[in-house]
Amino acid sequence: MLRFRLLLNTLLNIILISIILVSICGAASAVEAELRPSVSVLMDRVDADERKLADWPELSRYREENTRVPAPAADEARVVFIGDSITDSWGRGVGNFFPGKPYFNRGISGQTTPQMLVRFRADVLALKPRAVVILAGTNDIAGNTGAMTLGMIEDNLASMAELAQSNGIKVILASVLPINDYMAWPQAANRPPQKIRDLNAWIKNFCVRKGFVYLDYHSAMLDAAQALRKEWSGDGLHPNDAGYAVMAPLAETAIRKALSR
């Protein structure tokens, strides 16, 4: 990042010199007005990247909130949901996140499985739940934190599941939701449906082999064209209230199944 800053400073110096030279020709104000927005955007991007690098897994997101979570009561069926924006948005302005239930939402928008794996101890294990619901992978397929093979995604999911299991926490692995291209934001280019199906097939088989619970959102949310039903999403990727209304009872059934084992 220091090297990037030096390069940026060099670029800015070049721009300033250019402005000075052009000013000699009497056209400085027009050039400066044209360049200023580009420099501002570039600086904002650098600042955002620096913040991201300083806390890549976003451990700060729930740090303070986690310190206020008391130890679970002896009879408390505490559950943590960890995931990306589909989990993060559930109950945060969209949907209804299990009112009255001892369930904790630990989703972070845009995240991929390597980021969740890094924060798994702080945001899941430290809360001492009886079960964890893991919903992740769509952003890995989209390459949010760089190119990811299915094998890499599977390794991260397996590591989270094994961490939970080794700490006496019941594991529920959810299938990645389908997408659609019905809206103004085509989704299939970044999240090919076949890759989603292949990842879900692995998740299901992994759950069978390890004795975990497989939570199948994907099959329940398909339309006749094998895409996410249009009325359950506003952008072809994220569920709306109607979509979460489909997901909630599926999650509850999976939680009861996991806790009964």
The pLDDT tens digits for 56-81 are: 999 999 999 999 999 999 999 999 99
Q: Which of 171, 191, 175 is nearest to 235 (CA)?
A: 191
- By percentage, how much of the chain surpasses pLDDT 70? 80
| pLDDT number for residue 52 | 62
- 3-state DSSP call for residue 83? strand
Contact call for residues 175 and 214 (beta carbons, < 8 A): yes
Looking at the DSSP bridge assignments, the partners of residue 132 are: 80, 171
pLDDT band at 2, cuts 50/70/90?
A: very low
Angstrom distance (rounded) from CA 238 to CA 235: 6
**What pTM, to 2 d.p., does this model score?**
0.83
Phi, psi of 189 (to 5 degrees): -65, -40
* Bridging pattern class, strands 170-174 and 213-215: parallel
Q: Are the C-beta atoms of 169 and 131 separated by less than 8 Å? A: yes
How far is the first Cα of the chain from the last one, in angstroms, to the nearest whole number? 49
Exposure string of 116-128, with b = 16+ CB inside 10 Å and e = fewer, is bbbbbebbbbebe
Q: Please answer whether residues 87 and 105 qualify as being in contact, where contact means their C-beta atoms are separated by less than 8 angstroms.
A: yes
Report, as an integer, the average pLDDT of 101-125: 98
Residue 242, φ and ψ in degrees, nearest 5: -65, -35
How many Å apart are CA 249 and CA 98, to the nearest integer? 10
Q: How confident is the model at residue 34 (pLDDT cuts 50, 70, 90)?
A: low
pLDDT for residue 206 is more than 60:
yes
pLDDT for 36: 62
